[in-house]
């Protein structure tokens, strides 16, 4: 059995979820997991001196639960209730994929937590310039909603802080330009994963 755990990290509103869902449809026995599902309840998230809720930090998430969930999936991916339709375009490129299982984990803080870093087979990081990220973020509705100044006061500074940490400490990360079309990003990541699968099966 071949198990592949893929990280799809990076900036808020960079297109991580969309990319993960599209890849799921194209890859054999593919499941997805979202870091957003591991947020602590609002009452447990700290507030800074400016009154901003500190959501964009590791302490706002149940990270140990996330690691446990990924490890559980790795132990028995076949029982994770993934219903895979016939992948749209894998069949010709990869023969005999019954024993291949892929988990795509998407989130904004994937590579800054050491216990997670032991699990990745491939890591991708989506980036966006400030103006585009702010524009996209302003079109989304969050619970709780972004208050005035929240993006500039908390979201963007935290993104830059964690991105710098990743660049300094993590290797083998493929950086992706989130301003490219979804088709371009999908094609790039998909072909990279197919190459990785071929290597694993040689």
Query: Maximum distance among all alpha carbons in the chain?
Result: 57
Output the six-digit token pair for 174. 């493929």
Does residue 36 have an active-site annotation?
A: yes
The tokens 């190459």 sit on which residue? 195
Whole-angstrom Cα distance, residue 66 to residue 200? 25
List, in sequence order, every beta strand (DSSP E) within 116-166: 122-127
Strands 30-34 and 122-127: unpaired
Output the six-digit token pair for 99. 């024993």
Q: Please choose, from the candidates 117, 90, 116, the residue with its C-alpha nearest in 3D space to the C-alpha of residue 102.
A: 90
Report residue 154 CA to chain centroid gap.
Answer: 20
Output the six-digit token pair for 39. 């947020």
Catalytic residue among 31, 36, 92, 192: 36
Q: Please choose, from the candidates 50, 22, 6, 16, the residue with its C-alpha nearest in 3D space to the C-alpha of residue 36.
A: 16
Cite the active site residues: 36
């Amino acid at each position: 059995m071949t198990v592949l755990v893929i990280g799809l990290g990076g900036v808020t509103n960079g297109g991580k979820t969309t990319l993960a869902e599209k890849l799921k449809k194209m890859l054999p026995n593919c499941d997805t997991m979202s870091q957003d599902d591991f947020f602590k309840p609002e009452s447990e998230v700290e507030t800074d001196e400016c009154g901003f809720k500190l959501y964009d930090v590791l302490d706002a998430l149940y990270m140990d639960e996330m690691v446990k969930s990924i490890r559980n999936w790795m132990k028995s991916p076949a029982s994770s209730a993934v219903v895979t339709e016939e992948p749209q375009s894998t069949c010709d490129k990869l023969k005999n994929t019954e024993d291949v299982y892929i988990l795509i984990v998407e989130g904004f803080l994937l590579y800054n937590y050491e216990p997670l870093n032991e699990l990745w087979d491939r890591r991708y990081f989506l980036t966006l310039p400030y103006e585009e990220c702010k524009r996209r973020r302003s079109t989304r509705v969050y619970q709780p909603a972004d208050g005035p100044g929240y993006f500039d006061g908390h979201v963007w500074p935290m993104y830059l802080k964690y991105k710098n940490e990743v660049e300094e400490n993590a290797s083998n990360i493929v950086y992706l330009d989130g301003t490219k079309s979804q088709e371009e990003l999908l094609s790039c990541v998909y072909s990279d994963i197919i190459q990785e699968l071929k290597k694993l099966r040689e």
